């Protein structure tokens, strides 16, 4: 993936990666993004679910969403996704860190107006978050589609940044009697909790039971 100085990793550049395979793998492992944009000179960063199809991300929300209404005008935007893999506990306060995989993507968005394309984009988002759900639920009514804005965010350039491994301490600190290492952290799916008004006799779908840590 081509990058300019806008997307190039400057702080500890050896942790940066710019190949599509690495970037897409991180985007596919997550489902929560933070979208940055400016409105009348005021920066905003809004969390939102997303789906990916090749070099495009799909975002959705209420047709009244300030974020979506601003993005559909084609203003420059930044989408960030971060996966936390562990807390890195060093022997000194200064060298504490975090193991993570992150992507920062730059580009512009366009509004998807055609109903069938909107449905397809919503399907991509749904299947990205939990595969198998879309084919089981009722599809959106026409009035629901009208009340929903869907944007296609074209990734113009992006970079990944990854940290792995143990703490890196000052040489003299390795002799300190302080425990150091990595505390792994992951997103864990708990046992499904059924809705109180669910139809009697329905079992938890297999795709829900198969859901694994992202």
* Boundaries of domain holding 109: 13-186
Q: For residue 91, is it within any domain?
A: yes
CB burial string 159-177: b at 16+ within 10 A, e below: bbbbeeeebebeeeeeeee
Q: For residue 207, is it within any domain?
A: no
CATH code assigned at 65: 2.30.110.10
Sign, CA dihedral 149-154-52-106, equals negative
- Phi, psi (degrees; rounded to nearest 5) at 99: -90, 130
Digit-coded pLDDT (tens) for 9-66: 999 999 999 999 999 999 999 999 999 999 999 999 999 999 999 999 999 999 999 9
List of residues 6+ apart from 187 with CB closer than 8 A: 213, 214
Q: For residue 148, is it within any domain?
A: yes
Q: For residue 198, is it within any domain?
A: no
Average pLDDT, integer, range 57-80 = 96
pTM over 0.85: yes
Instruction: Categorize the per-residue pLDDT at 213 as very low, low, confident or very high, splitting at 50, 70 and 90.
Output: very low
* pLDDT value of position 1: 73
Instruction: Categorize the per-residue pLDDT at 67 as very low, low, confident or very high, splitting at 50, 70 and 90.
Output: very high
Q: For residue 50, is it within any domain?
A: yes
Residue 3 is encoded by which pair of tokens? 């990058």
Q: For residue 213, is it within any domain?
A: no
* pLDDT value of position 212: 57
Average pLDDT, integer, range 143-153 = 97
The percentage of the chain sitting over the pLDDT mark of 90, rounded to a whole number, equals 93
Digit-coded pLDDT (tens) for 83-115: 999 999 999 999 999 999 999 999 999 999 999
Average pLDDT, integer, range 170-185 = 98
Rounded-to-integer distance, Cα 35 and Cα 12, Å = 24
| Average predicted confidence (pLDDT) for the chain | 95
Q: For residue 42, is it within any domain?
A: yes
Number of domains in the chain: 1
Q: How far is CA 27 from CA 18, 49, 65, 77, in A?
A: 13, 11, 23, 17
Instruction: List for the chain the helix, strand, coil content (%; round to 5).
Output: 20, 35, 40
Q: For residue 103, is it within any domain?
A: yes
Q: Identify which of 126, 125, 144 has the alpha carbon closest to the alpha carbon of residue 134.
A: 126
Q: Identify which of 59, 66, 30, 84 has the alpha carbon closest to the alpha carbon of residue 155.
A: 59
Rg over CA atoms, the chain: 21
């Amino acid at each position: 993936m081509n990058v300019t100085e806008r997307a190039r990793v400057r702080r500890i550049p050896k942790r940066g990666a710019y190949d599509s395979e690495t970037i897409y793998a991180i985007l596919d492992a997550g489902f929560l993004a933070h979208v940055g944009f400016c409105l009348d000179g005021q920066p905003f960063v809004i969390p939102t679910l997303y789906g990916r199809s090749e070099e495009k991300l799909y975002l959705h929300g209420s047709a009244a969403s300030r974020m979506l209404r601003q993005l559909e005008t084609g203003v420059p935007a930044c989408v960030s996704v971060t996966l936390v893999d562990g807390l890195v506990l060093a022997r000194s306060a200064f060298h504490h860190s975090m193991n993570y995989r992150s992507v920062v993507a730059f580009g512009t968005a366009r509004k998807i107006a055609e109903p069938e394309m909107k449905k397809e984009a919503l399907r991509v988002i749904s299947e990205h978050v939990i595969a198998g759900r879309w084919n089981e639920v009722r599809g959106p009514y026409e009035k629901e589609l009208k009340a929903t804005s869907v944007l296609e965010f074209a990734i113009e350039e992006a970079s990944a940044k990854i940290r792995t491994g143990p703490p890196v301490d000052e040489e003299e600190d390795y002799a300190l009697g302080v425990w150091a290492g990595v505390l792994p952290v992951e997103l864990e799916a708990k046992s499904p909790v059924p809705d109180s008004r669910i139809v009697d006799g329905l079992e938890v779908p297999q795709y829900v039971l198969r859901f694994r840590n992202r």
